[in-house]
Structure 1
Amino acid sequence: MSKVLELDQIKAAGTARTKEDAIAEAAEILVAAGAVTPEYLGFMKAREELTSTFMGNFLAIPHGTNEGKDTILSSALSFVRYADPIDWDGNEVRFVVGIAGKDGGHMDTLAAVATIFSDNDEVQKLVDASSEDELLALLSELNNA
Protein backbone atom coordinates (compact mmCIF):
# COMPACT_ATOMS: atom_id res chain seq x y z
CA MET A 1 0.00 0.00 0.00
CA SER A 2 1.41 3.38 -0.94
CA LYS A 3 1.75 6.21 1.53
CA VAL A 4 -0.70 9.12 1.30
CA LEU A 5 1.84 11.60 2.68
CA GLU A 6 5.44 11.76 1.48
CA LEU A 7 8.13 14.29 2.37
CA ASP A 8 7.74 16.21 -0.90
CA GLN A 9 4.02 16.71 -0.13
CA ILE A 10 4.82 18.76 2.99
CA LYS A 11 5.60 22.47 2.97
CA ALA A 12 6.72 23.88 6.31
CA ALA A 13 6.52 27.48 5.12
CA GLY A 14 3.53 28.10 2.90
CA THR A 15 3.52 31.29 0.85
CA ALA A 16 -0.21 31.89 0.34
CA ARG A 17 -1.81 34.87 2.06
CA THR A 18 -5.47 34.21 1.13
CA LYS A 19 -7.80 31.24 1.43
CA GLU A 20 -8.01 30.96 -2.36
CA ASP A 21 -4.23 30.94 -2.74
CA ALA A 22 -3.88 28.40 0.08
CA ILE A 23 -6.30 26.04 -1.68
CA ALA A 24 -4.27 26.46 -4.87
CA GLU A 25 -1.02 25.80 -2.98
CA ALA A 26 -2.47 22.57 -1.54
CA ALA A 27 -3.73 21.52 -4.98
CA GLU A 28 -0.36 22.21 -6.65
CA ILE A 29 1.30 19.75 -4.28
CA LEU A 30 -1.29 17.08 -5.07
CA VAL A 31 -0.79 17.65 -8.81
CA ALA A 32 3.01 17.48 -8.44
CA ALA A 33 2.63 14.20 -6.52
CA GLY A 34 0.69 12.74 -9.44
CA ALA A 35 -2.40 12.22 -7.26
CA VAL A 36 -4.75 14.51 -9.17
CA THR A 37 -5.07 16.24 -12.52
CA PRO A 38 -4.82 20.05 -12.64
CA GLU A 39 -8.61 20.19 -12.97
CA TYR A 40 -8.97 19.04 -9.34
CA LEU A 41 -8.35 22.61 -8.15
CA GLY A 42 -11.66 23.72 -9.66
CA PHE A 43 -13.49 21.03 -7.73
CA MET A 44 -11.70 22.08 -4.53
CA LYS A 45 -12.87 25.66 -5.08
CA ALA A 46 -16.40 24.45 -5.78
CA ARG A 47 -16.41 22.47 -2.50
CA GLU A 48 -15.30 25.56 -0.60
CA GLU A 49 -18.17 27.56 -2.12
CA LEU A 50 -20.64 24.94 -0.88
CA THR A 51 -19.33 24.83 2.67
CA SER A 52 -16.23 25.99 4.47
CA THR A 53 -13.57 23.34 4.99
CA PHE A 54 -12.38 25.05 8.19
CA MET A 55 -12.27 22.36 10.89
CA GLY A 56 -11.15 24.28 13.97
CA ASN A 57 -7.84 24.34 15.84
CA PHE A 58 -6.11 26.26 13.00
CA LEU A 59 -6.96 23.55 10.42
CA ALA A 60 -8.65 23.62 7.03
CA ILE A 61 -9.06 20.51 4.87
CA PRO A 62 -9.87 21.57 1.30
CA HIS A 63 -10.96 18.76 -0.97
CA GLY A 64 -12.93 18.29 -4.17
CA THR A 65 -16.60 17.66 -4.76
CA ASN A 66 -17.98 14.28 -5.76
CA GLU A 67 -18.20 15.59 -9.32
CA GLY A 68 -14.41 15.85 -9.35
CA LYS A 69 -13.70 12.25 -8.42
CA ASP A 70 -12.58 11.43 -11.98
CA THR A 71 -9.71 13.93 -11.57
CA ILE A 72 -8.29 11.90 -8.65
CA LEU A 73 -5.64 9.44 -9.78
CA SER A 74 -4.63 8.12 -6.34
CA SER A 75 -5.27 8.89 -2.68
CA ALA A 76 -2.90 11.50 -1.27
CA LEU A 77 -2.52 14.41 1.12
CA SER A 78 -0.75 17.71 0.92
CA PHE A 79 0.26 19.49 4.13
CA VAL A 80 1.09 23.19 4.26
CA ARG A 81 1.93 25.16 7.39
CA TYR A 82 1.71 28.97 7.56
CA ALA A 83 3.75 31.15 9.93
CA ASP A 84 1.07 33.83 9.83
CA PRO A 85 -2.56 32.70 10.06
CA ILE A 86 -4.71 32.88 6.95
CA ASP A 87 -8.21 34.35 7.27
CA TRP A 88 -10.53 31.47 6.44
CA ASP A 89 -14.00 33.01 6.55
CA GLY A 90 -13.16 34.80 9.79
CA ASN A 91 -11.21 31.89 11.30
CA GLU A 92 -7.45 31.62 11.71
CA VAL A 93 -5.85 28.80 9.72
CA ARG A 94 -2.19 27.81 10.13
CA PHE A 95 -2.47 24.34 8.53
CA VAL A 96 -4.01 23.39 5.21
CA VAL A 97 -4.34 19.68 4.50
CA GLY A 98 -5.41 19.03 0.93
CA ILE A 99 -7.07 15.66 0.48
CA ALA A 100 -7.64 13.56 -2.60
CA GLY A 101 -9.38 10.28 -1.87
CA LYS A 102 -9.59 7.61 -4.55
CA ASP A 103 -12.61 5.30 -4.31
CA GLY A 104 -13.67 6.65 -0.92
CA GLY A 105 -10.32 5.76 0.59
CA HIS A 106 -9.97 9.06 2.38
CA MET A 107 -12.44 8.62 5.24
CA ASP A 108 -9.97 6.83 7.54
CA THR A 109 -7.35 9.44 6.67
CA LEU A 110 -9.78 12.26 7.52
CA ALA A 111 -10.47 10.62 10.87
CA ALA A 112 -6.73 10.37 11.57
CA VAL A 113 -6.22 14.05 10.69
CA ALA A 114 -9.12 14.97 12.99
CA THR A 115 -7.60 12.92 15.82
CA ILE A 116 -4.23 14.69 15.54
CA PHE A 117 -5.82 18.14 15.43
CA SER A 118 -8.16 17.45 18.35
CA ASP A 119 -5.09 17.28 20.62
CA ASN A 120 -3.78 20.77 21.43
CA ASP A 121 -0.37 19.36 22.39
CA GLU A 122 -0.02 17.68 18.99
CA VAL A 123 -1.03 20.89 17.22
CA GLN A 124 1.61 22.79 19.18
CA LYS A 125 4.22 20.24 18.11
CA LEU A 126 3.22 20.89 14.49
CA VAL A 127 3.52 24.65 15.06
CA ASP A 128 6.96 24.22 16.64
CA ALA A 129 8.38 21.69 14.14
CA SER A 130 11.53 23.04 12.51
CA SER A 131 11.47 21.14 9.21
CA GLU A 132 9.45 19.09 6.75
CA ASP A 133 11.21 15.98 8.10
CA GLU A 134 9.99 16.74 11.61
CA LEU A 135 6.47 17.43 10.34
CA LEU A 136 6.44 14.10 8.49
CA ALA A 137 7.52 12.29 11.65
CA LEU A 138 4.69 13.94 13.61
CA LEU A 139 2.19 13.05 10.87
CA SER A 140 3.48 9.54 10.15
CA GLU A 141 0.35 7.85 11.51
CA LEU A 142 -1.60 9.29 8.58
CA ASN A 143 0.13 6.72 6.39
CA ASN A 144 -1.33 3.95 8.56
CA ALA A 145 -4.94 5.14 8.37
Structure 2
Amino acid sequence: MIYKKNFTSSVNIFMGLKSVDKVTAITQAGRYLVDGGFVKFDYIDSMVQRENLRSTYIGKGIAISHGMPGSEVFVHKTGICILQFPEGVDYEREKAYLVIGLAINPNDNNIFFSKLSDISEDSMLLKKLFITNDKHFFYSMFGQNFREKMK
Protein backbone atom coordinates (compact mmCIF):
# COMPACT_ATOMS: atom_id res chain seq x y z
CA MET A 1 0.00 0.00 0.00
CA ILE A 2 1.27 3.45 -0.91
CA TYR A 3 0.45 6.25 1.50
CA LYS A 4 0.14 9.82 0.26
CA LYS A 5 2.18 12.52 1.93
CA ASN A 6 1.34 16.21 2.31
CA PHE A 7 -2.43 16.03 2.06
CA THR A 8 -4.03 19.18 0.69
CA SER A 9 -7.18 18.97 2.80
CA SER A 10 -8.18 17.97 6.31
CA VAL A 11 -10.61 15.48 4.77
CA ASN A 12 -9.04 12.81 2.61
CA ILE A 13 -10.84 10.01 0.82
CA PHE A 14 -9.36 6.66 -0.20
CA MET A 15 -11.66 4.69 -2.46
CA GLY A 16 -11.97 1.16 -3.77
CA LEU A 17 -9.86 -0.47 -1.08
CA LYS A 18 -9.72 -4.25 -0.81
CA SER A 19 -11.48 -5.78 2.16
CA VAL A 20 -9.25 -6.41 5.19
CA ASP A 21 -9.83 -7.25 8.85
CA LYS A 22 -10.94 -4.40 11.09
CA VAL A 23 -7.62 -3.96 12.92
CA THR A 24 -5.83 -3.63 9.57
CA ALA A 25 -8.46 -1.12 8.40
CA ILE A 26 -8.06 0.91 11.60
CA THR A 27 -4.27 0.80 11.33
CA GLN A 28 -4.52 1.86 7.70
CA ALA A 29 -6.73 4.82 8.67
CA GLY A 30 -4.28 5.75 11.41
CA ARG A 31 -1.38 5.53 8.98
CA TYR A 32 -3.13 7.94 6.61
CA LEU A 33 -3.59 10.36 9.52
CA VAL A 34 0.11 10.04 10.43
CA ASP A 35 1.26 10.44 6.83
CA GLY A 36 -0.96 13.50 6.44
CA GLY A 37 0.75 15.14 9.40
CA PHE A 38 -2.41 15.17 11.51
CA VAL A 39 -1.25 12.89 14.33
CA LYS A 40 1.83 11.30 15.88
CA PHE A 41 2.44 7.61 15.23
CA ASP A 42 1.33 6.75 18.81
CA TYR A 43 -2.21 7.71 17.83
CA ILE A 44 -2.52 4.48 15.80
CA ASP A 45 -2.02 2.35 18.92
CA SER A 46 -4.61 4.45 20.71
CA MET A 47 -7.09 3.84 17.86
CA VAL A 48 -6.61 0.07 18.10
CA GLN A 49 -6.90 0.18 21.92
CA ARG A 50 -10.15 2.13 21.57
CA GLU A 51 -11.55 -0.51 19.21
CA ASN A 52 -10.55 -3.28 21.62
CA LEU A 53 -12.34 -1.48 24.45
CA ARG A 54 -15.58 -0.90 22.53
CA SER A 55 -16.46 -1.15 18.87
CA THR A 56 -16.41 2.06 16.88
CA TYR A 57 -18.96 0.66 14.43
CA ILE A 58 -21.90 3.10 14.58
CA GLY A 59 -24.28 1.24 12.27
CA LYS A 60 -25.51 1.70 8.71
CA GLY A 61 -22.19 0.46 7.31
CA ILE A 62 -20.02 3.09 9.02
CA ALA A 63 -17.23 2.84 11.61
CA ILE A 64 -15.58 5.92 13.10
CA SER A 65 -12.17 4.99 14.44
CA HIS A 66 -10.57 7.38 16.90
CA GLY A 67 -8.20 7.38 19.82
CA MET A 68 -8.73 6.74 23.50
CA PRO A 69 -9.55 9.56 25.91
CA GLY A 70 -6.34 11.49 26.45
CA SER A 71 -5.01 10.71 22.97
CA GLU A 72 -5.52 14.32 21.90
CA VAL A 73 -1.91 14.84 23.00
CA PHE A 74 -0.97 12.96 19.82
CA VAL A 75 -3.10 15.19 17.54
CA HIS A 76 -1.21 17.93 15.68
CA LYS A 77 -4.24 19.23 13.82
CA THR A 78 -7.72 18.06 12.90
CA GLY A 79 -7.75 15.44 10.18
CA ILE A 80 -10.27 13.00 8.80
CA CYS A 81 -9.73 10.16 6.39
CA ILE A 82 -12.54 8.18 4.86
CA LEU A 83 -11.64 4.71 3.65
CA GLN A 84 -14.14 3.11 1.31
CA PHE A 85 -14.27 -0.68 1.24
CA PRO A 86 -16.88 -1.68 -1.40
CA GLU A 87 -16.85 -5.30 -0.14
CA GLY A 88 -16.92 -4.21 3.49
CA VAL A 89 -14.85 -4.86 6.59
CA ASP A 90 -16.21 -7.25 9.21
CA TYR A 91 -17.11 -5.53 12.48
CA GLU A 92 -18.43 -8.39 14.61
CA ARG A 93 -21.81 -9.19 13.03
CA GLU A 94 -21.89 -6.14 10.74
CA LYS A 95 -19.94 -4.83 7.78
CA ALA A 96 -18.44 -1.36 7.58
CA TYR A 97 -18.13 -0.01 4.05
CA LEU A 98 -16.80 3.34 5.25
CA VAL A 99 -14.10 3.31 7.91
CA ILE A 100 -13.47 6.84 9.05
CA GLY A 101 -10.23 7.75 10.78
CA LEU A 102 -10.85 10.72 13.01
CA ALA A 103 -8.40 13.01 14.78
CA ILE A 104 -9.97 16.13 16.22
CA ASN A 105 -8.02 18.95 17.77
CA PRO A 106 -10.23 20.01 20.71
CA ASN A 107 -9.76 23.68 19.74
CA ASP A 108 -11.31 23.21 16.28
CA ASN A 109 -14.94 23.93 15.54
CA ASN A 110 -15.90 20.68 13.83
CA ILE A 111 -19.05 20.11 11.80
CA PHE A 112 -18.13 16.65 10.58
CA PHE A 113 -20.64 14.81 12.75
CA SER A 114 -23.61 16.89 11.65
CA LYS A 115 -22.72 16.30 7.99
CA LEU A 116 -22.25 12.58 8.60
CA SER A 117 -25.56 12.42 10.44
CA ASP A 118 -27.37 14.06 7.53
CA ILE A 119 -25.77 11.68 5.03
CA SER A 120 -26.46 8.57 7.11
CA GLU A 121 -30.20 9.28 7.13
CA ASP A 122 -30.39 8.62 3.37
CA SER A 123 -29.94 4.88 2.75
CA MET A 124 -29.79 5.27 -1.05
CA LEU A 125 -27.07 7.89 -0.75
CA LEU A 126 -25.11 5.69 1.65
CA LYS A 127 -25.29 2.73 -0.73
CA LYS A 128 -23.92 4.94 -3.51
CA LEU A 129 -21.09 6.16 -1.26
CA PHE A 130 -20.20 2.55 -0.44
CA ILE A 131 -19.49 1.69 -4.09
CA THR A 132 -18.89 4.88 -6.09
CA ASN A 133 -15.52 5.57 -7.66
CA ASP A 134 -16.31 9.27 -8.08
CA LYS A 135 -14.23 11.19 -5.53
CA HIS A 136 -15.89 14.49 -6.49
CA PHE A 137 -19.27 13.02 -5.57
CA PHE A 138 -17.84 11.92 -2.23
CA TYR A 139 -16.51 15.39 -1.45
CA SER A 140 -19.74 17.04 -2.61
CA MET A 141 -21.66 15.09 0.01
CA PHE A 142 -19.70 16.80 2.75
CA GLY A 143 -20.09 20.19 1.10
CA GLN A 144 -17.69 22.96 0.17
CA ASN A 145 -18.27 24.74 3.48
CA PHE A 146 -17.07 21.69 5.37
CA ARG A 147 -13.81 21.43 3.44
CA GLU A 148 -13.13 25.15 3.72
CA LYS A 149 -13.69 25.24 7.49
CA MET A 150 -11.45 22.24 8.02
CA LYS A 151 -8.41 23.69 6.21
Counterparts in 2 of 1:83 and 1:128: CA distance versus 1, 3 Å: closer
> In percent, how many aligned pairs have the same letter?
21
Aligned to 2:25: 22
Q: Which has the higher helix share?
A: 1
- Unaligned runs of 5+ residues in structure 2 are 1-7
State which drifts further: 100-109 or 10-19.
100-109
- Number of residue pairs matched? 141
Q: How does 1:19-98 map to 2 (within 5 A)?
A: 19-98=22-101
Change (3 A) 1:128 1:20: closer
CA gap of 1:23–1:137, structure 2 versus 1, over 3 A, is same
**Separation of aligned partners in 2, 1:87 and 1:107:** 28
Contact 1:74 1:101 in 2 (8 A): yes
Q: Please, what is the CA RMSD of the aligned residues?
A: 2.1
On the 8 A contact 2:63/2:98 being kept in 1, the answer is: yes
TM-score after normalising by structure 1: 0.85
Aligned-partner Cα distance in 1 for 2:127–2:26: 23
Q: Does 1:4 align with 2:34?
A: no
Show structure 1 runs of 5+ residues with no match.
none
Alignment of 1:95-106 (within 5 A): 95-103=98-106, 105=108
Contact 1:59/1:95 (8 A) holds in 2: yes
Judge which range, 12-21 or 102-111, deviates more.
102-111
1:136 aligned onto 2:130: no
Structure-1 separation of matches of 2:110 and 2:73:
17
